[in-house]
Amino acid sequence: MKQEVLRYENIYCSEGNQTLLKGLCLRAFQGQICFAIIPNLIEKQNFLSLLEGTLKPDSGWIYWNGNKLNSRRSQDQIRKQTSFIGRNRGVFSQLSVGENIFVANSRVLWWNRASLLCRKAPDLLTELKLTLPMSAKAHTLDFGRQKQIELLRAYVSGRKLAVITDLEMFLSEEEMKDFFDLTVKLKMKGMTFLYVSGSDTDLWNLADEVTIIKKGRSISRIIPSHDISSLNQPITSAGFAAKKQPSSPYVSLDQYIKGGELVNILDTNSAECSHAISILENCRFLTSKAIISYQYKTCFRSILNEIVFIEARSLNEMVFTDMTIMDNLIFMLMQKNSGISFKKSYRKLVQNMTQGIFTEKELLLRADKASDECKLKLIYYRWIFLRPKVMVCIKPFSSMDYQLRSLTISLLNEALKTGIAVILITNHITEAYTMKGKHLTVENGCLLKD
């Protein structure tokens, strides 16, 4: 049985009249790489302050090495046995690489032991299959290798836990790969890691557990695993993952699609979410012709089958740029009602339908001259006006700034209010939990319930 290193259970913290953490649950076992994804920058800093011991919990339980910490002061035990590796410089510039690893830690009492300690360097490098110039000054190395030095120092000094933050902001992809290759090696030696990130990262598949924290509480725990029966276990208020029933983990999409409800599908294996889209073909609620139409990028015709798609790069790929906003809307209405061919009738209809949504000036703009906000409203409202049964949105929040993200959420809520069933498909964990709804996961081509 694995030794539990750290567990936060139902933690509440406040400052003045403001509640900072409200029901946070997180755990890490010896020899694990855990990820905490916290999209909000302030909430992420509050969580780091809790780890550092500067933010004291008002209620809840903290366990360290399997033992419950009963006093507020005892939280210092965590800080003393934890190494924090982030954007701040963590090496002593004028010391050599070897001295940074073997000497510059709290367990070394006298500097005159430096040469004796550094003799262990070749054995350590051989054991970990690393190449580092031990005699070189630390400041002469690139930032990626300096972070490796910090990691090695934490291991040599016997730190139980290494908390890693923000490396993706200043390390290259190659440096990140080298750094996490080292974490995997040290993980095999029993070291525990907690990577705290403000966004999704391609590295999350290295994790033994991923905890998503939003609005001060843990909203989900995901366990990447080759054993699909252990995937996506929902988190409980006690901080433990609810155990799945021994029955088959596979589910059918049909039972989750209802008018006016949202289904979030996380596709963990495909950058373009092709596995999740393929699963739609087996859904009896949907028309397979529409899915095939989407695969051939002719999804404008799928409205005839009462299922519509909004693509991942919708601002670039789903607007007829040589038409006005008005003509874009008229074109889609004419596709739905091909028996009516009077454009003037549609123009009057669009003007009535878009009151309070588009200004008269916006309707007359060519789409390539319109703002992104205007084009986004066009993309969603032309479907909302047509009242399909299902709207499938592929990665709707990818590469969007905060303003467009908020507008997208409002537009999706508007679709739900009209009774349209919305399926949100993404390969990003945080996007899958942006909006409230039912949560499913596609793993290795199979659909699993959250």
What pLDDT is recorded for position 195?
A: 92
State yes or no: pLDDT of 243 exceeds 50.
no
CA distance readout (Å), 7 to 4, 29, 47:
7, 9, 13
- What kind and span of H or E run contains 265? strand 262-267
Which of these ranges, 220-224, 322-326, 363-367, has the smallest mean pLDDT?
220-224
DSSP 366: B
Angstrom distance (rounded) from CA 179 to CA 132? 13
Angstrom distance (rounded) from CA 450 to CA 436? 13
State yes or no: pLDDT of 410 exceeds 90.
yes
Instruction: Give every strand in the sheet of 217-222, ordered side by side.
Output: 82-85, 161-165, 192-197, 33-37, 209-214, 217-222
Angstrom distance (rounded) from CA 159 to CA 28? 14
pLDDT digits 0-9 by tens, 72-96? 666 777 888 898 998 777 878 778 8
Domains and CATH numbers, the chain: 4-230 (3.40.50.300), 254-449 (3.40.50.300)
Instruction: Report the share of the chain in percent with pLDDT over 90.
Output: 16
Residue 141 tokens, joined = 């190395």
Q: Residue 207: how many CA atoms within 13 Å on its side-chain side? A: 28
State yes or no: pLDDT of 204 exceeds 60.
yes
Beta strands in 357-445 (DSSP E): 390-394, 421-426, 438-443
Residue 285: closest CA among 311, 245, 246, 256: 256
Q: Are 66 and 3 in contact (CB under 8 A)?
A: yes
Which of these ranges, 19-23, 246-250, 372-376, 393-397, has the smallest mean pLDDT?
246-250
Residue 420 tokens, joined = 């349209």
Angstrom distance (rounded) from CA 90 to CA 150? 6
What pLDDT is recorded for position 424?
A: 92
The set of residues, in sequence order, having a beta carbon less than 8 Å from that of 436 and lying 6+ positions away, is 262
**331-339 mean pLDDT:** 64
State yes or no: pLDDT of 309 exceeds 50.
yes
Q: Strand 438-443 to strand 446-449: parallel, antiparallel, or no bridges (unpaired)?
A: antiparallel
Q: Apex CA 80: angle with CA 33 and CA 241, to 5°? A: 35
Gyration radius (Cα) of the chain, Å: 26
pLDDT digits 0-9 by tens, 212-236? 888 888 887 777 653 433 334 444 4
pLDDT digits 0-9 by tens, 126-180? 888 888 888 888 888 888 888 998 898 888 888 889 999 888 778 888 888 889 8
Pairwise pLDDT comparison (56 vs 206), residue with the higher score = 56
pLDDT digits 0-9 by tens, 267-299? 877 677 777 777 776 666 665 444 444 444 444
Pairwise pLDDT comparison (310 vs 240), residue with the higher score = 310
CB atoms within 10 A of CB 3: 12
Residue 305 tokens, joined = 């089958």
14: three-class secondary structure by DSSP: strand
Tally the residues of the chain.
450
Phi-psi region of 61 (alpha: psi -120 to 50; beta: other; left: phi over 0): beta
What is the pTM assigned to this prediction? 0.60
Angstrom distance (rounded) from CA 447 to CA 275? 9
What pLDDT is recorded for position 97?
A: 81
What pLDDT is recorded for position 163?
A: 94
Bridge partners (DSSP) of residue 209 are 34
